[in-house]
Amino acid sequence: MPRSLRIAHLYPDLLNLYADRGNIRTLVQRCRWRGLAVEVTAVPAGDVPRLHEYDLVLLGGGSDREQQLVGQTLRRYQAEWRAAVAAGLPLLAICGGYQLLGEYYELPSGERVPGLELLEMTTVAKSPRLIGNIAIASAKCGTIVGFENHGGRTYHRHPPLGRVLRGHGNNASDGTEGVRWLNVFGTYIHGPLLPKNPRLADQLLRTALRYAGLPDELEPLDDELELAAHAAFLERRLQLSTQQTEGSHSPGEERLPAGHPSRPT
């Protein structure tokens, strides 16, 4: 019998400002609907993350204060993080967690919070805050939608998670949002991120299954409700139709069918 897929939620007591537990619940439920065994480990502040034991890690968002506290903890294990990411550990980092993957996050006071330096990336807090609904076009998942609320302007030269269709993205100037490098997924999109973006959720699961050495072919699910929520968000919140976003998909992009037989209960 295949072993369980192991997901770690790092510091949920400090980094859960934007309903990041909803991302964990989405990943777990999509595994269970397919009959895949999954385990979730919540790693509270102060505990040592056992990166070699995980197949997927979630690092969520928090306020500047919590971000400083978490940054201090993460830096103690910088060598372990670098080795794990280089080996292909899948990592989903959102908002403050995303910023901590870079070299530093500069606060409004000018103080710099050191990051893990996993990415050649810097973030500087500026006014005004970048707030609102957002949609991006990604190479593998079509459109990704959600909400953004960040003062940081993030700059890097890695491939982005996607290109901004509506909203601000990394810095409101270069048209990019997030990062997609090795098996690192970083983004400012929350709300939470995954419930309305099932294609992205499944891409994360496939990446984690491959890293774990488990079969990564996922049985299709009936995502009618999820895709309806996705389409409604595009049309009602962003005034974008699904037809308008069709041209934003990259050639050869992987597409999942919209409807399948009913999912298991």
The residues carrying an active-site annotation are 95, 190
Among left, alpha and beta (phi > 0; psi -120 to 50; other), residue 198 is: alpha
Residue with tokens 């006071």: 109
- DSSP calls for the chain: -PPPEEEEEE-TTTS-TT-THHHHHHHHHHHHHTT--EEEEEE-TTSPP-GGG-SEEEE----HHHHHHHHHHHHTTHHHHHHHHHTT--EEEETHHHHTTSSEEE-TTS-EEE---SSSEEEEEEEEEEEEEEEEEETTTEEEEEEEEEEEEEEESSPPSEEEEES-TTTSSSSEESEEETTEEEES-BSSSSTT-HHHHHHHHHHHHHHHTS---PPP---HHHHHHHHHIIIIIS---HHHHHTTSPTT-----S--SPPP-
Task: Identify the burial level of 259 via C-beta atoms within 10 angstroms of its C-beta, where 0-12 means exposed, 13-18 middle and 19 or more buried.
Answer: exposed
* Residue 12 exposed, middle or buried by CB count within 10 Å (0-12, 13-18, 19+): middle
